[in-house]
């Protein structure tokens, strides 16, 4: 639709601008042909980063991985929900493409970024408050989990945030979210009791069990398809004694035994004692011939005697070559992996992919040798590949369902979420690296089908870029999500103007 000057003028007046200001904006916009940027700049001069400024460069550099660093024409950094609302009205009126970013931890280009159009970056919306009774935290979408844990820790409480400090709040919480408390409390989204959301048209609403419950459900896995979440209200839980966690490193020759032990723990101890989490981490760095095999146990029940919870004895009995374990705070646990090497990775080329499979001992054993077999001979510079095995027990899914459901299509089945994380040095190797990943994921798919263990859904927070994540949630869920989208986003701006992420219609 072509907008006339009269329409544009009257729109600008509805935003509270006076006639003189409107004329100035019109003149500038006629010169550079861009009303949206002129308007954002005029209304919120302190909330706009322009290209070639240090703030712009700094903001773009925070994406996790250089592939995601696209060059928006303007970065809009609102302070409050009302500014987000005005921003959305402007995008809608001028039919302007935009993207939304929280922590920017999605490494796929264009998921939370945009080239030549407008980026809403929520980095300044980092309010964080706790109710006087300490049972509920209100968390702005500009927060990272490390800050959330540290702030709540002084009050002896915690929330089901991500396992690493630099991970952003909003992407994780609209994509189901795995925390170390997954087995006992369900997905992180299960603890969100209210989302404050800016919808199409700029309307600010709450979504909770009493108000807009269908939208509340849809945001538990539905990503950026419905609006921009401007506040998450989460249930807290007491964590006065901190946590215990450890890393058990094994020789690569033990990998199949470790995979079997992981299966036994997942189907035994984790089911009997859900206050336990054990992740299985494999890594291959072909350039230096390094293969690592680790189990990473965690518990918030710290009042055990002896060096580790007795239920973990089978993992120690295998004979790890190295053990580091200790009682610590949740903040420490979330920051200790953030080493200089980790920070270096944030500037590399990064890819991620996911598959979920039913717990199956022989399949686990088979998969455990596939990573080094597939990537071991890679000659790509600085190629580093890891596969993280995250157990999702039937109890975890049941618990999420009890707390209001999950839109992510998770079935009440004891399963493992296999998450591939890859980085390499050079853009020139992108095609080769991505092809290798695609082939590896296809091999996992074949193995899982062979044992009739493939789960249909993909986990939004670690899925590959080209996967139909929303479709993978199942026909019923997809239809419900689409109905919510039609109801709350009549003009469908979060399908057509808000780029990036996994959309409801492909
Ligand atoms: C090192 C590392 C460790 C990780 N560990 C965990 C973990 O322990 N548990 C886990 O669950 N995940 C983990 N992840 C995955 C992580 O959850 C996702 O990358 C998630 O998207 C990060 O959130 P973000 O705010 O940084 O997302 P962004 O990259 O900013 O955005 C992701 C998507 O969410 C949308 N979005 C962002 N903000 C909003 C908003 N306010 N309203 C609506 N849509 C929005 C974006 O448009 C985009 O499509 C990890 C990722 C990394 C890189």
337 vs 276: CA distance, rounded Å? 20
3-state helix, strand, coil in the chain (%, to 5): 40, 20, 40
Torsion, Cα of 398, 501, 166, 153 (10° steps):
-40
Nearest CA residue ID for atom 11, ligand 1 = 177
Q: Does domain 5-121 have CATH number 3.40.50.1010?
A: no
Ligand 1 binding pocket, CB closer than 6 Å: 64, 100-106, 111-112, 122, 141, 162-164, 167-172, 174-175, 177-178, 223-224, 228-229, 461-462, 500-501
Question: Closest by alpha carbon to 476, among 412, 408, 414?
Answer: 408
- The domain spans of the chain are 5-121, 128-239+471-496, 243-466
pLDDT of residue 29: 85
pLDDT of residue 1: 65
Gap from CA of 306 to ligand 1 centroid (Å): 37
224 Cα: distance to centroid of ligand 1 (angstroms): 11
Q: Measured on CA atoms in the order 469, 221, 101, 489, is the torsion positive or negative?
A: positive
Which residues sit opposite 281 in a β-bridge? Answer: 294, 388
CATH 3.40.50.800 fits 128-239+471-496, yes or no: no
**Could you identify the atom of ligand 1 that is nearest to the CA of residue 172?**
17
Residue-by-residue DSSP string for 129-176: EE-TTSSEEEE-TT-BHHHHHHHHHTTTEE----SSTT-BHHHHHTS-
Q: Which atom of ligand 1 is nearest to the CA of 498?
A: 47
Query: For atom 15 of ligand 1, which residue has the closest CA?
Result: 461
The pLDDT, as a whole number, for residue 456 is 98
Please state the pTM of the whole predicted model. Answer: 0.97
For the domain covering 243-466, report its CATH number.
3.40.462.20
Which helix (H) or strand (E) is 198 found in, with range? Answer: strand 192-198
Q: Tell me the three state secondary structure of residue 487.
A: helix
Q: What is the pLDDT along the chain (506 residues), one digit of tens a residue?
A: 678 889 999 999 999 999 999 998 898 888 777 899 999 999 999 999 999 999 999 999 999 999 999 999 999 999 999 999 999 999 999 999 999 999 999 999 999 999 999 999 999 999 999 999 999 999 999 999 999 999 999 999 999 999 999 999 999 999 999 999 999 999 999 999 999 999 999 999 999 999 999 999 999 999 999 999 999 999 999 999 999 999 999 999 999 999 999 999 999 999 998 899 999 999 999 999 999 999 999 999 999 999 999 999 999 999 999 999 999 999 999 999 999 999 999 999 999 999 999 999 999 999 999 999 999 999 999 999 999 999 999 999 999 999 999 999 999 999 999 999 999 999 999 999 999 999 999 999 999 999 999 999 999 999 999 999 999 999 999 999 999 999 999 999 999 999 999 999 98
Atom of ligand 1 nearest to the CA of 227: 43
Candidates 324, 279, 280, 330; CA nearest to 302 is: 330
């Amino acid at each position: 639709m072509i907008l006339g000057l009269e329409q544009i003028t009257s729109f600008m007046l509805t935003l509270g601008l006076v006639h003189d200001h409107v004329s100035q904006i019109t003149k500038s916009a006629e010169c550079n042909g861009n009303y949206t940027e002129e308007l954002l700049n005029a209304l919120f001069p302190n909330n706009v980063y322009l290209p070639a400024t240090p703030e712009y460069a700094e903001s773009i550099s925070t994406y996790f991985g250089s592939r995601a660093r696209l060059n928006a024409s303007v970065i809009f950094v609102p302070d409050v929900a009302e500014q987000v609302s005005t921003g959305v009205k402007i995008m809608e009126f001028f039919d302007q493409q935009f993207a939304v970013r929280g922590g920017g931890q999605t490494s796929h280009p264009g998921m939370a970024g945009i080239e030549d159009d407008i980026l809403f970056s929520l980095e300044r919306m980092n309010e964080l408050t706790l109710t006087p009774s300490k049972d509920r935290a209100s968390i702005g979408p500009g927060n990272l989990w490390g800050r959330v844990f540290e702030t709540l820790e002084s009050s002896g409480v915690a929330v089901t945030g991500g396992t690493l400090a630099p991970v952003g709040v909003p992407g994780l919480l609209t994509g189901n979210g795995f925390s170390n408390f997954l087995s006992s409390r369900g997905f992180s989204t299960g603890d969100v009791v209210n989302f404050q959301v800016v919808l199409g048209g700029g309307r600010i609403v709450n979504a909770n069990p009493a108000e807009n419950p269908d939208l509340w459900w849809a945001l538990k896995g539905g990503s950026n398809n419905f609006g921009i979440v401007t506040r998450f209200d989460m249930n807290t839980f007491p964590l006065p004694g901190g946590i215990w966690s450890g890393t058990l490193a094994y020789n690569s020759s033990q990998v199949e035994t470790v995979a079997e032990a992981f299966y036994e723990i997942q189907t035994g101890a984790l089911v009997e004692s859900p206050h336990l989490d054990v992740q299985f981490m494999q890594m291959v760095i072909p350039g230096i011939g390094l293969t690592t095999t680790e189990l990473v146990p965690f518990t918030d029940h710290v009042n055990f005697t002896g060096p580790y919870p007795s239920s973990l004895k089978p993992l120690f009995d295998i004979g790890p070559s190295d053990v580091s374990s200790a009682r610590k705070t949740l903040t420490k646990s979330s920051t200790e992996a953030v080493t200089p090497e980790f920070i270096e990775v944030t500037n590399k080329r990064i890819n991620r992919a996911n598959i979920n499979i039913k717990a199956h001992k022989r399949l686990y054993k088979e998969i455990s040798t596939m990573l080094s077999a597939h990537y071991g001979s890679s000659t790509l510079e600085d190629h580093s590949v890891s596969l993280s095995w995250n157990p999702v027990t039937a109890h975890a899914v049941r618990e999420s369902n009890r707390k209001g459901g999950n839109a992510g299509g998770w079935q009440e089945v004891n399963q493992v979420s296999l998450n591939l994380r890859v980085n390499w040095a050079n853009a020139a190797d992108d095609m080769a690296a991505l092809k290798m990943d695609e082939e590896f994921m296809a091999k996992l798919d074949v193995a899982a089908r062979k044992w009739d263990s493939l789960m249909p859904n993909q986990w939004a927070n670690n899925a590959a870029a080209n996967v139909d994540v929303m479709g993978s949630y199942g026909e019923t869920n997809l239809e419900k999500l689409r109905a919510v989208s039609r109801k709350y986003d009549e003009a469908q701006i979060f399908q057509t103007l808000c780029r990036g992420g996994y959309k409801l219609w492909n």
